[in-house]
Structure 1
Amino acid sequence: MTDSIRIAAWNVNSLKVRLPQVLKWLQDHERAKTPIDALCLQELKLTDDKYPHQELEEAGYISIAAGQKTYNGVAIIVRKAALAPIATDHDTTFLKPVRNIPANADEQQRILAATVCFKGMQPIRLVSAYFPNGQSPDSDKFVYKLGWLKALENWLREELTQNSRLALLGDFNIAPSDIDVHDPSKWIGQNLVSPEERKAFQQLLELGLTDSFRMFEQAPKSFSWWDYRMMGFRRNAGMRIDHILLSDALKEKCNSSVIDKEPRTWEQPSDHAPVIAEIKKT
């Protein structure tokens, strides 16, 4: 039994297109003896009936999903070998599942939460989140984003009172500070970096969550998303908008938090790279 688990988030920008890459990435980590024990996906872009449960189970993973045609969609995938013996099927693996933010009517599938019991440690509440993009600060979509962020904050405040070991993972569509942007001057007045969005991010931290990536020394210009256009990845013209926030109980157990840029180098990649946090069991 290993003494830690690895939890990750990845906006795959279409699971139908990227499923072979997800499987390859998981298998690469298995071979490297750095297995991913829980992977939260965003932007599935497929309906529940099209979700690849069988392919993932054949590879050694069990999962739940909240899908939607063409847009959005989130999933939680866990490695069967990492689960406590009590976990034998979906109902005993994904406890107290929540789809979407309660009390916030929304047809867009952006939130999926469940409590998972891993071997040798207390259960962890995992929240896979795909935050709205917001388009631009003068748009209706930005108004929707701010309302969604407030609803998320209110719900997480209640979740944290019931779950001291909680991780919020996903594509936040927010670069928390200028060091998370390749060229802040080019983004002035745009979404992802607005004062309102950054304030909402800070309010999540004030609930008792910590940006795991910033717990450790990181290389300058570390990003998780690069535009497909204008050779964004090659020029490292990116932004850090994919995050893993940890409650205090998990923060104390966090060994590392990294961005894995390797899948972004593959053919037909997602425009996002996976982010990974390692959590000690004891």
Structure 2
Amino acid sequence: MKIATYNVNGVNGRLPVLLRWLAEAQPDVVCLQELKAPDDKFPEQAIREAGYQAIWHGQKSWNGVAILSRIGAIHETMRGLPDDPTDQQSRYIEAAVNGILIAALYLPNGNPKPGPKFDYKLRWFDRLIDHAETLATSGLPAILAGDFNVVPTERDVYKPERWMDDALFAPEARAAYFRLLEQGWTDALRTCHPTETIYTFWDYFRNAYGRNAGLRLDHILLSPALAERLKEAQVDAQVRGWEKTSDHAPVWVRLRN
């Protein structure tokens, strides 16, 4: 079973790239972020013609998450994180697919720091951690997949000294990420590539992709009940080099049956 996450940076504007990648990579389940489209503008027909069912949680111009499946029904279990009914940003959707509970998430960027956007990031992260604990301790096979907007360690960023004042690399955000791991979640990419330089995002500016001046922002975390099934984890970095592509590359794991 191949499960992927991909920040598409605009699902309609990047639709040809998304469809090409789906056809070439053939993931079984995909979590998408940054749809940047309201619910009625999600390209459901094109996705269906590509062989995928979909559920989505959209928002005009910003945010937005979705789950696609080509291996069976998607049973939605949650839309938005609990504990803040006033939060209107579309950043979390969760569903059961083929016996696995899958959460697609898009954590706030948090810049500029300090300020209200960074405060919101940390509050949202706390809510995620609270909910993730219930998943981790449930005994269910579960996945948290998406753009976490967090660079966990210095190994995960090109020239870390340049990012010291950025919300992506803030000590508070990095600490929150490791609080998640302390619940028993497995960072699939780092588990499979413990010492490699591996990035999932390259800025559009200063030839960042060509220089491999990237960051690892997109993560797939496996619950204790699922971690033993991890077979492989990779980044489809070549997709970042395609024409009119996202500034993120798809990340995927392959699980043993």
Which residues in structure 2 correspond to 1:247-258 (within 5 Å)? 247-258=223-234
RMSD: 1.2
1:63 is aligned to 2:57? no
Contact 1:74 1:129 in 2 (8 A): yes
Matched position secondary structure for 1:128: strand
Post-superposition offset of 1:59: 1.4
Which residues in structure 2 correspond to 1:219-234 (within 5 Å)? 220-234=196-210
Letter in 2 for 1:221: T
Letter in 1 for 2:51: G
Give the unaligned 5+ runs of structure 1: 30-34, 84-92, 118-122
Residues 1:17 and 1:218: Cα distance change in structure 2 (over 3 Å): farther
Deviations 1:95-119 (A, max 9, x none): 24211002223100000000112xx
Letter in 1 for 2:94: A
Matched position secondary structure for 1:14: coil
TM-score, with structure 2 as normaliser: 0.96
Q: Which residue of structure 1 lines up, in the alignment, with residue 91 of structure 2? A: 110
Post-superposition offset of 1:54: 1.1
1:152 is aligned to 2:152? no
In 2, Cα distance between equivalents of 1:95 and 1:272:
27
Letter in 1 for 2:17: Q
Using the aligned pairs only, state the percent identity.
41
Contact 2:154 2:160 in 1 (8 A): yes
In 2, Cα distance between equivalents of 1:163 and 1:152:
18
Which residues in structure 2 correspond to 1:79-228 (within 5 Å)? 79=70, 82-83=71-72, 93-105=73-85, 106-117=87-98, 123-162=99-138, 164-217=140-193, 220-228=196-204
Contact 1:42 1:130 in 2 (8 A): yes
State the structure with more CA Rg.
1
Deviations 1:93-150 (A, max 9, x none): 2224211002223100000000112xxxxx1000000000000331110000000000
Letter in 2 for 1:101: L
Q: How many residues align?
A: 256
1:14 is aligned to 2:10? yes
Q: Which residue of structure 2 lines up, in the alignment, with residue 89 of structure 1? A: none
Give the unaligned 5+ runs of structure 2: none
